[in-house]
Each structure stands twice: as C-alpha cells, then as structure tokens.
C-alpha cells in the first residue's frame, strides 16, 4: 500500500514539475516575442500642431512663380506661369483612412487664383486630370473631397501613370500611415526644359512627378522620396526611390527648411527605402 502511494506521489510530482517547466518555457517565449515586436514596431510620439506646420513649410526659390493656396485639408503652392502647382502638401492621419465620403468627380476652376486653368483646358488632350493630393485620402470630409477637385490641385498626367505606379504608390502611403500613425506628404511636378503644354497653351505637361514622404511621429524620423516619369510606370517601388536632395535638385524647392542642417543632411542625402518596407 505504502509503495503504491509513493508511486502516485512521484507521478504527481513529475506532472507538476513538467507543467511548471512548460509554463516557464511559455512565459520566456512570450517575453521574447514582446521584445521582438517592440523592437520592430515604430516608437510613436504625438505631433504638435506647431511642429506639423513647421515641417510642412516648403522653400521656393526666388523668381519662381508661387502662390500659397490654403485649403481645409491641404496647401498648394501654385505656379501661375505654368498653370500647375509647384507642390501640394498635406497631413494624413490613421483615423482619416476609413472615411465614407464618395468621390465627387466635379472638377472646378478657382477664379480667385491667378493662372488657374479650367477643366476645359484638358479637353481632348488625351491625358488624365491627375490629383496631387489624392481624393482617396480625403474621404473623411465632404469639403476636403470637393476642394481636391479644384484645378489648383490638378496636373496633366498620363493614364499609364495615374492608374499604374502612381496609384500603387498612393496606396502604399495609406499602408504606411496605418502603421506610422501620421505622414506628411509633398507632391508635385518635375518640369524640365523642353516640356510641352496642353493645346490651350496655359498648362505645362511635366516630364515627371515627385512625392516626398515624412513619418514625423516615429523615432528616428523617417523620410523617403520618389520620382515617376509621366508615362509608363511598371517595375518595383525601389526603381523610383530617390533622395530628397535629388528632388530638390530637379525642382529647386527646399523641403524641411526649418530643421537643423545636420538633421536635414541625415534625412535628405540618402535613400532610406528599407526603413519603410521592412
């Protein structure tokens, strides 16, 4: 009888030890998982209104036609001599991604802005009226959606670009916003010598388009830029990634001029695509 009890006690003790060992292994694995996840996930900090406005400043070279047009959800630096913007800039936040406002498709001139073309200037040109600030990012506001169709936010864009690589890049911006909480996005044309105009003669057809993107709430802050030719845009995202310095060289604009010079150099002189895609 005593021998049977001892055997039962030993079996029970072994089972308890095995259970405790399993729980210990599970706890260690859970803690390691939390460490790995926390190391890979971006550390987010809030962005103040003043900090946002400072980072959204764009320096325009002396002599370049530039009228700053402020909308509810974005700003446009409009070039009346070209009939298109130098740059459009906006903030996209995670809580704005699930809006339900429908696309209006009602393109409108802005008579208050000198040199603003009319939708008819694009008639028969064979090109899309391409948004700089995407309508798809403004579904959270009826006013913002309507303002995105003002012609100050529109540029002539080849359909192959507008519906191809450019649309994929805009979708990627939304994915990064969901991850990084907030992005600041700068978009505009790259105008080269010899670029043509639409038949009206009032609107320049750019040879390419740029997009500069900053994740201001992650630490360290990240920046990436892209240049897409205004035409066929097949290939991987990496094919179009460039430094911010390259966009500045081609456009004459100055992004993030309020940052200290050493921080500008860190962010702007190299291509940091891996930090965005990994």
Instruction: Give the catalytic positions in this structure.
Output: 131
Residues 155, 210: Cα–Cα separation, whole Å: 12
Residue 62 DSSP one-character state: T
- Containing 170, the helix (H) or strand (E) segment is helix 165-180
- The distance of Cα 245 from the centroid of its chain, to the nearest Å, equals 17
Residue 208 DSSP one-character state: E
Burial class from Cβ neighbours inside 10 Å (0-12, 13-18, 19+) for residue 89 reads buried
Residues 161, 168: Cα–Cα separation, whole Å: 10
Nearest to 230 by CA among 267, 202, 188: 188
43 bridge partner residues? 219
Residues 116, 113: Cα–Cα separation, whole Å: 6
Q: Count of residues for the chain?
A: 278
Residues 27, 34: Cα–Cα separation, whole Å: 11
Task: Find the distance separating the first CA and the last CA of the chain, reported in whole Å.
Answer: 64
């Amino acid at each position: 009888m005593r021998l049977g009890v001892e055997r039962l006690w030993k079996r029970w003790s072994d089972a308890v030890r095995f259970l405790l060992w399993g729980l210990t292994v599970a706890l260690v694995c859970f803690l390691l998982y939390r460490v790995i996840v926390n190391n890979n996930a971006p550390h987010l900090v809030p962005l103040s209104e003043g900090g946002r406005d400072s980072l959204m400043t764009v320096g325009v070279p002396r002599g370049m036609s530039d009228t700053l047009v402020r909308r509810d959800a974005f700003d446009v630096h409009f070039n009346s001599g070209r009939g298109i913007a130098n740059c459009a800039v906006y903030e996209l936040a995670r809580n704005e991604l699930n809006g339900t406002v429908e696309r209006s498709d009602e393109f409108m001139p802005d008579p208050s802005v000198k040199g603003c073309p009319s939708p008819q200037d694009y008639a028969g040109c064979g090109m899309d009226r391409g948004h700089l600030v995407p309508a798809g990012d403004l579904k959270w506001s009826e006013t913002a959606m309507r303002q995105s169709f003002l012609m100050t936010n529109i540029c002539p864009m080849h359909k192959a670009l507008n519906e191809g690589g450019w649309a994929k890049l805009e979708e990627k911006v939304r994915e990064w916003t969901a991850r990084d909480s907030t992005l600041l996005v700068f978009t505009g044309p790259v105008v080269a010598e010899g670029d043509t105009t639409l038949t009206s003669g009032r609107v320049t057809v750019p040879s390419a388009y740029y997009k500069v993107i900053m994740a201001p709430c992650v630490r360290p802050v990240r920046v990436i830029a892209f240049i897409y030719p205004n035409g066929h845009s097949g290939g991987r995202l990496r094919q179009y990634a460039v430094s911010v310095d390259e966009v500045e060289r081609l456009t004459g604009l100055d992004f993030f001029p309020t940052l200290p010079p050493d921080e500008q150099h860190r962010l702007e002189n190299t291509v940091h695509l891996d930090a965005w895609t990994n």
